[in-house]
Structure 1
Amino acid sequence: MKTLFLCSYFAEVASLFKTFADQHQLEKKVLFIPTAGNVEGYTAYIDEARAVFADLQFEVEVLDIAEEARENVVREKMLQTPCLYISGGNTFYLLQELKKKNLLPLIRERIHQGMVYLGESAGAIITSKDIFYNHIMDDKRLASDLTEYSALSVVDFSVLPHWKEFPFEKSSQQTAAAYDGQLKLLKLTNQQAVLVTGHTTVTENVQ
């Protein structure tokens, strides 16, 4: 059964994640993928996410899939981890690096085997069928080797993160205007998370 925790801003929904972790009795070990931040100027949210895991006494193993040249090492770590966290950053660059190591089929398989998937912003967007809709918010030119945009396709919706949140007020609303009629957009503010358990999807808000 698939179990996912998807959000715009992990540090802002730390209280929701704590409840989620307790309810699902998560094994406190996570493989932490910060790769999407490699091409971003601002990455404080990555350190903030690590701090959330540390506060909850998770054992965190950081793995930048762009820097680790050995595909077998990356695959072995993904096979072993009970929880996979993928950070925010540039969604197109993230997808490019996942495709370079042919990791999408493995992640999809592990999710269906019971690995818990935790995705923040870009990490949430790639759970959809295709990420092209995010080209208004993210610069796809930062992924010069990416030629098509099919993603994990483990949910039947497309996360639109940072809904009306600074500095994405304009780009999030432009994305909604362009794709609301074509896609099942799930708009998330920075204080919301969507929890997927099997075929059940619930959006929760920080109180």
Structure 2
Amino acid sequence: MPDMDLLLLSRWLTPVRDFLVPRVGAGARIGFIPTASSIYPDQAWLDLDRGSLRDQGFEVVDVDPELVSAATFTRALGEIDAVFVSGGNVFHLLGALRHAGADRALVDAVRRGLPYIGVSAGACVTGPDIAPLALLDDPAEAAPLTSTTGLELIDVTVVPHAEGTVGGRGRIDRTRQEFADHRLHFLRDDEALVISGGTTTVIAG
């Protein structure tokens, strides 16, 4: 836990440069995992995110566990300076990572010190359980899941777009009520979580 560095975002990528440059330097090579969005025909936000990262001075390369073998994915994690896990459907993301045999490789790399940047679904999947996201993402759209246990990199489940920008405020309020027995962190689009050295800090997003 003390060696991990995670930046968890709801929407905007503004904090990425200040998070990443002190850790891996300017011009770092970011492995971009687009998996959460692969079930959607419109993936315009992925191009926006790639463009934002490049505008911040980073090299961006896709690392897609749905398109390569587990061994190739694992090797790719060793050839990047940081990993970026995009938004989309968190249930599909988790199911696809497991189906590809990529979940453990990703967790192991992050626990060994590979900086992790997750936005929306990419933030949600890091927690102990993605079940509380069922009111925001449709589990029926996902790759088959036998368990909603997340990657367990952190001990809370991030609920993004906490001001209701995706799906409306009613879904956020229902999530708060129906999953009160879970440890939830409601993250607004203008916020980010930094987990580093065993400490969690909320910063402007």
Q: Residue 73 of structure 1 aligns with which residue?
A: 72
1:80 counterpart SS class: coil
Amino acid at match of 1:133: P
Cα 1:167/1:101, change in 2 over 3 Å: closer
1:89 counterpart SS class: coil
Amino acid at match of 1:38: S
Amino acid at match of 2:45: Y
Q: Residue 97 of structure 1 aligns with which residue?
A: 96
Amino acid at match of 2:175: T
Q: Equivalents in 1 of 2:21, 2:71: separation in Å? A: 32
2:8 counterpart SS class: strand
Q: Equivalents in 2 of 1:56, 1:145: separation in Å? A: 36
Q: Residue 54 of structure 1 aligns with which residue?
A: 54
Deviation digits for residues 88-146 of structure 1, max 9, x if unmatched? Answer: 00111111110012222211111111100000011000100111111111110112521
Unaligned runs of 5+ in 2: none
Q: Does the 8 Å contact 1:31/1:62 carry over to 2?
A: yes
Q: Does 1:6 align with 2:8?
A: yes
Q: Does the 8 Å contact 1:30/1:59 carry over to 2?
A: yes
Q: How much is the aligned-residue C-alpha RMSD, in angstroms?
A: 1.6
Q: Equivalents in 1 of 2:60, 2:186: separation in Å? A: 29
Q: Does 1:85 align with 2:68?
A: no
Q: Does the 8 Å contact 1:161/1:172 carry over to 2?
A: no
Q: Residue 32 of structure 2 aligns with which residue?
A: 32
Shift of 1:173: 2.1
Cα 1:127/1:144, change in 2 over 3 Å: closer
2:78 counterpart SS class: helix
Deviation digits for residues 127-168 of structure 1, max 9, x if unmatched? Answer: 001111111111101125212111210111110100023233
Shift of 1:25: 4.2
Q: Does the 8 Å contact 2:91/2:145 carry over to 1?
A: yes
Q: Equivalents in 2 of 1:84, 1:13: separation in Å? A: 14
Q: Residue 170 of structure 1 aligns with which residue?
A: 170
Cα 1:71/1:160, change in 2 over 3 Å: same
Q: Equivalents in 2 of 1:22, 1:144: separation in Å? A: 35
Task: Name the structure with the higher helix share.
Answer: 1
Q: Does the 8 Å contact 1:163/1:173 carry over to 2?
A: no
Q: Does the 8 Å contact 1:13/1:192 carry over to 2?
A: no
Amino acid at match of 2:8: L
Amino acid at match of 2:181: Q
Q: Residue 127 of structure 1 aligns with which residue?
A: 126
Q: Does the 8 Å contact 1:104/1:151 carry over to 2?
A: no
Q: Equivalents in 2 of 1:22, 1:107: separation in Å? A: 21
Deviation digits for residues 38-73 of structure 1, max 9, x if unmatched? Answer: 12354332112111111122111113322x142221
